[in-house]
Amino acid sequence: MITAFFAPTPQPPRLAIPVYGSTVPAGFPSPADDYLETRLDLNDLLVHDPAATFMVRVCGDSMSGAGISSNDVLVIDRSIEPVSGHIVLAIVDGEFTVKRLQKQNAQIFLLPENPAYPPIKLQEGQELQIWGVVTGCVKSFL
């Protein structure tokens, strides 16, 4: 389920955030100031085609195996042609869902990444629209 849609600002102000060149261990603390490599704007990292990009907030855990959790914000690019294996934002019979697209011969499946959920096997007469391909995930830890 999707709880909110967001569009990137057409002309976002530059917000360069420091990026450190070294990896950060999850164990012992390390002084990082000596390793400042560059600055990074998250728009440059996450948005490749601004005119075709939007974001959605996720609700639910059907894609937890792909690292997508409830409250995460997904970056969706409508300019990418969806192919088998892509994680997509789809509408099935009027309901939004995020799933992995799988095409086998003429059959289309939308696969969850959590064994607690069944795959969606598109049946004749069902309506499917692919709104875009997931290209990024902004994690929410709060």
Q: Would you name the residues annotated as active-site residues?
A: 62, 99
Query: How far apart are alpha carbons 83 and 87 in whole angstroms?
Result: 9
Phi/psi-derived region of residue 31, left when phi > 0, alpha when psi is between -120 and 50, beta in every other case: beta
Query: How far apart are alpha carbons 130 and 87 in whole angstroms?
Result: 10
The number of CA neighbours under 13 Å toward the Cβ of 63 is 27
- How far are the Cα atoms of 7, 58, 59, 63, 91 from residue 1, in angstroms, in the given order? 18, 6, 5, 11, 10
Helix (H, G, I), strand (E, B) or coil at 88: strand
Q: Exposed, middle or buried, 17 (CB in 10 Å: 0-12/13-18/19+)? A: exposed
